[in-house]
């Protein structure tokens, strides 16, 4: 990022180091514009920020960025090399991103040690954890775009931050900070912050057109063009469009749409200014668990007739279905998937007041309509005969004259039996639609100072304000489906002695209409004050400390619910339909807390240093916690304590970053949501308050013994445990899970990358070898998700100065690796650990992508 440079030695003031901010109200916007207008009136001194891209694929060597300047997670604005940072930070440059060609934001996280990433959900709504975080989604890891949060609360219910972000060629580089100062300079970021920094016209990127083909029906075009206008102005435009059948066979065009971004920026070396406008209109599928079983040796295996690596239960049979309710039916359109329509305007600038003081300001306004339609498999996978035996008493009692039950397809195409699809299995399927229109505005304004006093100081004091308004409308019907790729809806009917239908448990495949109903309106106001100082005490010793106070106010209303009978005597599916009453329960909550961090870095030599840091921080409750429970009184700030010690070393052939860490979350509220397949609704959730504690070590290393060969290694070992997790369950039994491993998080993660550089560096090829040890889908650790290893291939060749081609093969050996179990079975104890069949979400099977790009 181009930035302001005070005339002091080689200090480089980066614009990208500011935390996030927001604007919505006129007074906030006015303050930002006034600051930027002042910025443009200052004297000009030309400077560049050194954001140059490498020109050859070989420069994309992982970990070979020891001297790169970092701007994320900091108070001051002066130049700071990665080697001198007093916190754990990883960087991905332009060429690394082009080589690996990530499918989603979550895929970039995989290239950072310490992060456990579940990208098996597709391009949106994935889960990210680091250093013992006990929460899902992006609730404790901030996703930033140009140092400003994509969403202030990244874990808002059914609205993960990555649904409002798409990765494309407009991204120039990525910086990832784990733990440490992230939670002080970013909201909801105790686990870290990942900052996606975009291209600008003043960087003179020129232009690029790139076409990508994937063997799953993927056709995608990325393009951008940037140009400097005169000495100080630049313009940039870029984006992508693609259509795809999906990484699992959905039976229809699953992904379709794109993004466009336009930017105008000013930089005279002392002052900078940028306006960025982004539009997303894109729909992608959300992939969910699939049925699995065990082979004769007790290993996890495919169910007959179902390919767990490539199939999905969702498909045309569960698309465009009418879910009955009071009034007109709700038309559930699965082909919409997760559909994001978003318009975002961002303004940022830096104004150098004098040689000591500077103002940095960032503001963003977002207006989005986000629809999430997906088919969530639920309950136990059962043999048809067992299922019919279980429901038969209910059907026979409800319909006099019925002497037996039968399963038949809802579309009238036939009757099911024990051999249907080669497995004779059925399972529940929730057709869930969630609409979340959201309007959000953020502003962050910071005063920075660089001065000498007992050493050299880079200090900052700032304020972040956010205003978010959203609706949350949720409706669901629970179906019965068969088990095959693109499953079909199944009806269960009662028949008389002649085989005539006399009544039906289901209707059009629905076991229950209206099994979930929510209608919510919320307004959230967040205010944070922070200050920090990076104090260079001696040439070798630097101390930095910072503190943050934050308050969130949650106001809104949640419609009260009742059950209604739609009045069809021929079926039981419409007897208990959840609906709104027209009466609302108000929500009025306020929480605040403060945290601080203290770090030290000692540089024995330019390429060798050590650091230590202690952080006492927090996470405030989310408005999403009240979407379904407006009267809850159990929410409060969660105290978080973190410590880390790191060693950094670099030489011509060897780089090493090693960090030992400790993390403790205190008083976390764990909620057990379990979908009851008898009542076809969620049981009243159990809530347990407990702690978590994690010890661990992260490694990021690179060995380059020769120009033609290098070997990169990223590894994380950790021991994530629940502490004090003891409670009495609904049956009166005391459950003690103290010391159990955190759900879904492996103890060991290894990513080894051997690579070769050929033809004077014009060709780079590498293998990514990922290994993850066993995990558990529940807090009881009753079911094992086995260890697995994936092998991926990446290659890129610079054919001419302007033409490049690339190859990406994911999961080369088509490994079956499970990332999560069945969350709808409950997070405390899944309860079906000894079942022959179960639900879990695997990684994608082998996929191949080819790309060709023309730069100019």
CA-based torsion, 238, 241, 242, 247: positive or negative: positive
| Tens-digit pLDDT profile for residues 461-475 | 999 999 999 999 999
Could you tell me the pLDDT band of residue 588, with boundaries at 50, 70 and 90? very high
**Is a pLDDT exceeding 90 seen at residue 831?**
no
Surface-to-core class of residue 813, CB atoms within 10 Å of its CB (0-12 exposed, 13-18 middle, 19+ buried): exposed
Q: Which residues are paired to 472 by β-bridges?
A: 520
Which DSSP letter does residue 504 get? Answer: E
Q: Give the residue-averaged pLDDT of 88-116.
A: 90
Q: Give the residue-averaged pLDDT of 37-49.
A: 35
**For 655, what's the count of Cα atoms within 13 Å in the CB-facing half-sphere?**
23
Q: Give the residue-averaged pLDDT of 735-743.
A: 95
The tokens for 209 are 């057109």
Q: Give the residue-averaged pLDDT of 485-494.
A: 98
pLDDT at res. 71: 78
- The continuous run of DSSP H or E covering 600 comes out as strand 577-605
Q: Give the residue-averaged pLDDT of 681-706.
A: 92
- Rounded-to-integer distance, Cα 223 and Cα 235, Å: 14
Phi, psi of 11 (to 5 degrees): -65, 130
Could you tell me the pLDDT band of residue 57, with boundaries at 50, 70 and 90? low
- Rounded-to-integer distance, Cα 788 and Cα 811, Å: 11
pLDDT at res. 61: 55
Total residues belonging to the chain: 856
pLDDT at res. 31: 39
| Tens-digit pLDDT profile for residues 172-229 | 999 999 887 889 999 999 989 999 999 999 987 899 999 999 999 999 999 999 999 9
Could you tell me the pLDDT band of residue 490, with boundaries at 50, 70 and 90? very high
pLDDT at res. 30: 37
What percent of the chain has pLDDT above 90?
Answer: 77
- Rounded-to-integer distance, Cα 675 and Cα 681, Å: 6
pLDDT at res. 435: 97
**Is a pLDDT exceeding 80 seen at residue 15?**
no
pLDDT at res. 720: 96
| Tens-digit pLDDT profile for residues 130-169 | 888 888 778 889 999 999 999 999 988 788 899 999 999 9
**Is a pLDDT exceeding 80 seen at residue 674?**
yes
- Rounded-to-integer distance, Cα 73 and Cα 193, Å: 8
CB atoms within 10 A of CB 84: 19
**Is a pLDDT exceeding 50 seen at residue 53?**
no
pLDDT at res. 832: 64
Could you tell me the pLDDT band of residue 40, with boundaries at 50, 70 and 90? very low
- Rounded-to-integer distance, Cα 480 and Cα 483, Å: 10
Mean pLDDT estimate for the chain = 90
| Tens-digit pLDDT profile for residues 589-629 | 999 999 999 999 999 999 999 999 999 999 999 999 999 89
Note whether 775 and 743 are within 8 A (CB).
Answer: yes
At which residue do the structure tokens 């050929």 appear? 758
Q: Give the residue-averaged pLDDT of 316-336.
A: 96
**Is a pLDDT exceeding 90 seen at residue 64?**
no
SS (H, E, C) 307-369: CCCCECCCCHHHCCEEECCCCCCEEECHHHCEEEEEEEEEEEEEEECCCCEEEEEEEEEEEEE
Could you tell me the pLDDT band of residue 80, with boundaries at 50, 70 and 90? confident
pLDDT at res. 181: 86
Note whether 330 and 352 are within 8 A (CB).
Answer: no
At which residue do the structure tokens 């104890």 appear? 829
**Is a pLDDT exceeding 90 seen at residue 37?**
no
Which residues are within 8 A (CB) of 10 and not within 5 positions of it... i.e. 6 or more apart? Answer: 79
Range scoring the smallest mean pLDDT among 280-294, 633-647, 669-683, 784-798: 669-683
Note whether 165 and 142 are within 8 A (CB).
Answer: no
- Rounded-to-integer distance, Cα 76 and Cα 185, Å: 11
Nearest to 443 by CA among 465, 462, 467: 465
| Tens-digit pLDDT profile for residues 341-394 | 999 999 999 999 999 999 999 999 999 999 999 999 998 899 999 999 999 999
At which residue do the structure tokens 């443009």 appear? 40
Q: Which three-class secondary structure state does DSSP give residue 542?
A: strand
pLDDT at res. 717: 97
**For 70, what's the count of Cα atoms within 13 Å in the CB-facing half-sphere?**
25
Could you tell me the pLDDT band of residue 9, with boundaries at 50, 70 and 90? very low
The tokens for 666 are 């205190």
Which residues are within 8 A (CB) of 284 and not within 5 positions of it... i.e. 6 or more apart? Answer: 122, 123, 124, 254, 255, 337, 338
- Rounded-to-integer distance, Cα 187 and Cα 715, Å: 27
The tokens for 354 are 């004098």
- Rounded-to-integer distance, Cα 178 and Cα 112, Å: 9
Q: Give the residue-averaged pLDDT of 242-253.
A: 95
Range scoring the smallest mean pLDDT among 134-138, 315-319, 545-549: 134-138
Which residues are within 8 A (CB) of 461 and not within 5 positions of it... i.e. 6 or more apart? Answer: 446, 447, 530, 531
**Is a pLDDT exceeding 60 seen at residue 49?**
no
Could you tell me the pLDDT band of residue 683, with boundaries at 50, 70 and 90? confident
- Rounded-to-integer distance, Cα 715 and Cα 452, Å: 40
pLDDT at res. 494: 97
- C-alpha separations of 493 from 394, 513, 566, 656 in Å: 11, 17, 19, 66
Which DSSP letter does residue 59 get? Answer: G
**Is a pLDDT exceeding 50 seen at residue 565?**
yes
């Amino acid at each position: 990022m181009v930035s302001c440079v005070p005339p002091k030695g080689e200090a480089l003031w980066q614009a990208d180091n500011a935390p996030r901010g927001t604007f919505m109200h006129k007074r906030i916007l006015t303050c930002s514009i006034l600051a930027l207008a002042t910025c443009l009136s200052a004297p000009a001194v030309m400077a560049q920020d050194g954001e140059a891209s490498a020109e050859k694929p070989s420069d994309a060597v992982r970990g070979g960025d020891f001297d790169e300047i970092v701007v994320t997670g900091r108070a001051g604005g002066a130049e700071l090399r990665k080697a001198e940072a007093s916190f754990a930070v990883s960087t991905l440059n332009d060429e690394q991103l082009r080589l690996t060609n990530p499918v989603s934001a979550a895929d970039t996280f995989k290239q950072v040690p310490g992060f456990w990433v579940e990208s098996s959900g597709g391009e949106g709504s994935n889960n990210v954890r680091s250093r013992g975080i006990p929460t899902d989604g992006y609730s404790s890891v901030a996703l930033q775009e140009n140092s400003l949060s994509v969403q202030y609360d990244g874990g808002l219910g059914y609205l993960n931050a990555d649904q409002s972000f798409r990765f494309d060629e407009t991204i120039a580089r990525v910086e990832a900070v784990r733990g440490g100062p992230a939670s002080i300079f970013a909201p909801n970021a105790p686990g870290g912050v990942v900052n996606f920094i975009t291209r600008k016209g003043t960087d003179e990127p020129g232009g690029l057109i790139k076409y990508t083909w994937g063997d799953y029906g993927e056709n995608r075009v990325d393009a951008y063009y940037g140009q400097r206008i005169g000495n100080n102005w630049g313009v940039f435009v870029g984006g992508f469009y693609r259509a795809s059948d999906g990484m699992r066979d959905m039976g229809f065009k699953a992904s379709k749409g794109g993004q466009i971004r336009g930017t105008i920026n000013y930089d005279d070396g002392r002052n900078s200014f940028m306006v960025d406008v982004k539009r997303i209109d894109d729909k992608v599928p959300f992939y969910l668990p699939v049925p699995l079983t065990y082979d004769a040796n007790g290993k996890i295996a495919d169910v007959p007739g179902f390919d767990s690596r490539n199939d999905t239960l969702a498909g045309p049979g569960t698309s465009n279905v009418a879910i009955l309710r009071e009034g007109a039916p709700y038309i559930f359109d699965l082909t919409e998937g997760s559909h994001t329509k978003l318009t975002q305007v961002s303004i940022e600038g830096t104004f150098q007041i004098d040689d000591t003081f500077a103002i940095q300001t960032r503001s963003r306004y977002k207006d989005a309509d986000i629809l999430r339609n997906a088919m969530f498999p639920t309950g136990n996978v059962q043999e048809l005969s067992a299922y019919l035996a279980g429901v038969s008493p209910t059907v026979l009692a409800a319909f006099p004259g019925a002497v037996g039950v039968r399963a038949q397809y809802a579309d009238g195409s036939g009757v099911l039996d024990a051999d249907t699809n080669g497995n004779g299995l059925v399972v529940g399927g929730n057709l869930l639609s969630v609409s979340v229109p959201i309007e959000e505005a953020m502003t962050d304004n910071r005063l920075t100072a660089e001065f000498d006093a007992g050493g050299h100081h880079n200090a900052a004091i700032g304020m972040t304000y956010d205003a978010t308004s959203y609706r949350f409308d949720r409706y669901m019907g629970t179906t019965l489906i068969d088990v095959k790729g693109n499953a079909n809806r199944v009806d269960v009917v009662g028949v008389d002695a002649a085989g005539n239908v006399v009544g039906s448990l289901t209707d059009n495949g629905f076991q229950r209409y209206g099994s979930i109903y929510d209608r919510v309106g919320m307004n959230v106001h967040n205010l944070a004050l922070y200050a920090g100082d990076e104090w260079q005490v001696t040439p070798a010793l630097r101390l930095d400390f910072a503190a943050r106070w934050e308050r969130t106010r949650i106001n809104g209303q949640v419609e009260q619910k009742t059950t209604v009978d739609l009045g069809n005597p021929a079926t039981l599916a419409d007897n208990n339909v959840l609906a709104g009453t027209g009466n609302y329960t108000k929500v009025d909550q306020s929480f605040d807390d403060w945290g601080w961090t203290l770090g030290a870095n000692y540089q024995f030599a330019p390429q060798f240093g050590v650091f230590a840091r202690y952080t006492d921080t927090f996470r405030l409750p989310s408005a999403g916690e009240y979407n379904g429970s407006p009267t809850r009184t159990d929410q409060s700030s969660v105290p978080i304590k973190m410590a880390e010690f790191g060693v950094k070393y670099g030489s011509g052939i060897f780089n090493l970053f090693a960090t030992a860490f400790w993390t403790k979350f205190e008083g976390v509220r764990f909620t057990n949501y379990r979908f009851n397949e008898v009542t076809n609704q969620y049981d009243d959730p159990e809530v347990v308050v407990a702690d978590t504690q994690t010890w661990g070590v992260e490694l990021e290393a690179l060995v380059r013994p020769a120009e033609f060969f290098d070997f990169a290694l990223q590894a994380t070992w950790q021991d994530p445990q629940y502490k004090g997790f003891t409670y009495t369950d609904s049956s009166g039994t005391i459950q003690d899970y103290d010391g159990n491993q955190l759900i879904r998080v492996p103890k060991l993660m290894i990513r080894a990358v051997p690579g070769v550089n050929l033809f004077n560096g014009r060709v780079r090829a590498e293998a990514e070898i990922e290994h993850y040890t066993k995990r558990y889908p529940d807090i009881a650790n009753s079911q094992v998700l086995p260890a697995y290893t994936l092998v991926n291939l990446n290659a890129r060749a610079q054919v001419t100065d302007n033409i490049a081609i690339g190859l990406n093969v994911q999961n080369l050996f088509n490994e079956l690796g499970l990332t999560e179990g069945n969350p709808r079975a409950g997070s405390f104890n899944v309860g079906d650990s000894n079942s022959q069949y179960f639900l879990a979400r695997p990684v994608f099977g082998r996929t191949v992508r080819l790309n060709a790009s023309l730069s100019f």
